[in-house]
Structure 1
Amino acid sequence: MSKGVLGTNVVTQVGIIVKNIEHTSQTFADFFGVEKPPANLTDTLDKAQTKYNGSPTEARAKLAFFDMGQIQIELIEPDENPSTWREYLDTHGEGVHHIAFVVKDMKGTVAKLESRNMPLIQKGEYTGGRYAYMDTFGDLKVILELLENDNGGGEGN
């Protein structure tokens, strides 16, 4: 049985852009009755190798992760540098930015999506893997994030 274009149909994560991660994290924690997770800053350009629309960017973001059973909620507070996160916040305001899937062949999956007119927006590295945001908004009404982990599993960026 085919798992479609991505090779999977299992949503791993929902990413939400926020203006104030500390406030929003506390609101989520209170609402779900869980401990507030720490907000961690993404790596610098030299380590993350972040590219946005094909060009290196100093963009960083504060991230907080809520593990909610089978899915992870990622809160993202972008800095002022050019990124898909900053663009989304400036254009749409706070809200759902992406849904993420773990893939086994990042390069191949990116190529498949690009062949469907769903271009790569931003990519980068994180400890243990890499990510790619694909512009699937026109067709799917949400950005897709692809996650490829060096150990074959695990969490997002």
Structure 2
Amino acid sequence: MSGLLGTNVVTQIGILVHDIEKVSEAYAAFFGVEKPAIFWTDPMEQAQTEFEGNPSPARAKLAFFDMGSLQIELIEPDHHESTWRNYLNEHGEGPHHIAFGIKGMKDKVELLAKSGFPLQQKGEYTGGRYAYIDTFPQLKVLVELLEND
């Protein structure tokens, strides 16, 4: 497969919200599915969160809706500066990123940076890692890389 990511399969759409409880209930009612659990991202020490190259205490509440081959992620950020908080402040509620499952995170991040798509935020989660790439100027949405162990 050609292209910078080695895949063209979107696995997730991330949506920023001000009130995850309210929006989560709306999604559940709209699709006739159970409202998912809402939980906080891990603290900085565990998640090794970095925003624009610096350690960051930023966290967010998340809720995941599995919709067939695509997952919808609702994100309510805390007040700390982060990709989530800054984007929500600048653009308001709505789509933040499209995510792709990849292999070789370090190499992909370097390749994208060399191609004019800089790393914005990265961190760890149980079972893997994520990286938000600043593709907004070109794609009008951010790209998130997800690598599961």
Question: TM-score normalised by the shorter chain: which range applies?
Answer: over 0.9
Partners of 2:87 and 2:31 lie apart in 1 by 26
- How well do the aligned residues superpose, as a CA RMSD in angstroms? 0.6
Alignment-derived partner of residue 71 in structure 2: 72
Alignment of 1:78-157 (within 5 A): 78-150=77-149
Runs of 4+ residues over 4 Å off in structure 1: none
The alignment covers a number of residue pairs equal to 149
Q: What percentage of aligned pairs have identical amino acids?
A: 64
Alignment-derived partner of residue 50 in structure 1: 49
Cα deviations across residues 84-105 of structure 1 (Å, max 9, x unaligned)? 0000111011010000000011
Report SS of the residue matched to 2:110: helix
Structure 1's unaligned 5+ residue stretches are: 151-157
Partners of 1:55 and 1:110 lie apart in 2 by 16
Alignment of 1:4-83 (within 5 A): 4-83=3-82
Partners of 1:128 and 1:96 lie apart in 2 by 25
1:3–1:9 Cα contact (<8 Å) kept: no
Partners of 2:109 and 2:139 lie apart in 1 by 16
Cα deviations across residues 59-96 of structure 1 (Å, max 9, x unaligned)? 00000000000100000000001100000111011010
Report SS of the residue matched to 2:10: coil
> What amino acid is the match of 1:79?
D
1:122–1:132 Cα contact (<8 Å) kept: yes
Report SS of the residue matched to 2:5: coil
Please give the TM-score of this superposition, normalised by the length of structure 1: 0.94
1:16–1:74 Cα contact (<8 Å) kept: yes
Partners of 2:36 and 2:24 lie apart in 1 by 7
Please give the TM-score of this superposition, normalised by the length of structure 2: 0.99
